[in-house]
Amino acid sequence: MRRRSLPLSDVYRHLEPGPVVLLTTARAGRANVMAMSWHTMLEFEPPLVGCVVSNRNHSYAALVATKECVIAIPTAGIARQAIACGNVSGRRGDKFAAVGLTPMPATRVRAPLVAECYANFECRVVDTRMVRKYCFFVVEVVQAWIDPRVADPRTIHHRGPRHVHVRGRAAAAAVEGEVTVTPGHAAALPAHPPPPSWPSCRRTGR
């Protein structure tokens, strides 16, 4: 193998666990949605998912307070809206409206489903022991919805600032499907600093 040293800050790009998802929350009647790519499966059944939600995000406070969320999985057709959810904060406005996504009532949690996503998982927070240190929430999927018409979802995969890849049926499709996203797409909301600052958690002690 030929090799070159890789900046440690780029390690995550090669270990990126899965599709970019949307994490929705609802607090005091206000729904919000953020992009999330730092998540990992922890158990088959009941399905447990580990999620890093930075305490710099508005969604963090809602998740801590309500212990409920929805993990929705977008596909290539709404890549720009999905990434826009990660480039602005819902702190001062309705991000759903700003990016053009539709909240739909869920059945087991107050956080909304995202109508445009092919999969929606209603979740409850079941373990917060690593929140203080890593902003890492363990959530349990209590209800899962899937669009039966979508047989081969072309999911979106984060490859670093301003780049996502789209999963296609073949590797070539993934390359062709590369999307360059313009930060600040959701101009109606105040932008806040884009990646790479997003994953970091304000450490509150070890």
Ligand X SMILES: Cc1cc2nc3c(=O)[nH]c(=O)nc-3n(C[C@H](O)[C@H](O)[C@H](O)COP(=O)(O)O)c2cc1C
Binding site for ligand X (CB under 6 A): 20, 32, 34-38, 52-54, 57-59, 83, 86-91, 95, 158, 195, 198-199
Q: How far apart are the first and last CA of the chain?
A: 39
Contact indicator for 55, 201 with CB cutoff of 8 Å:
yes
Minimum distance from residue 190 beta carbon to ligand X (Å): 10
Question: Measured from the CB atom, is 91 or 124 closer to ligand X?
Answer: 91
Question: Measured from the CB atom, is 38 or 118 closer to ligand X?
Answer: 38
Query: Alpha-carbon Rg of the chain, whole angstroms?
Result: 16
Minimum distance from residue 69 beta carbon to ligand X (Å): 11
Minimum distance from residue 3 beta carbon to ligand X (Å): 28
Question: Measured from the CB atom, is 93 or 168 closer to ligand X?
Answer: 93
Question: Measured from the CB atom, is 47 or 194 closer to ligand X?
Answer: 194
Minimum distance from residue 41 beta carbon to ligand X (Å): 14
Minimum distance from residue 4 beta carbon to ligand X (Å): 26
Question: Measured from the CB atom, is 35 or 117 closer to ligand X?
Answer: 35
Please report, for residues 70, 127, 152, 168, the alpha-carbon distance to residue 76 in angstroms, rounded to integers and kept in the order given.
19, 32, 11, 9
Which residue's CB comes closest to ligand X?
A: 86
Q: Is 187 left (phi over 0), alpha (psi -120 to 50) or beta?
A: alpha
User: Which residues, in sequence order, are bridge partners of residue 33?
Assistant: 24
Question: Measured from the CB atom, is 25 or 120 closer to ligand X?
Answer: 25
> In this structure, what are the phi and psi dihedrals at residue 18, rounded to the nearest 5 degrees?
-170, -160
Burial of residue 93 (number of CB atoms within 10 Å: 0-12, 13-18, 19+): middle
Residue in 160, 176, 155, 134 with CA at minimum distance from that of residue 75: 155
Minimum distance from residue 79 beta carbon to ligand X (Å): 10
- β-pair type (68-73, 30-36): unpaired
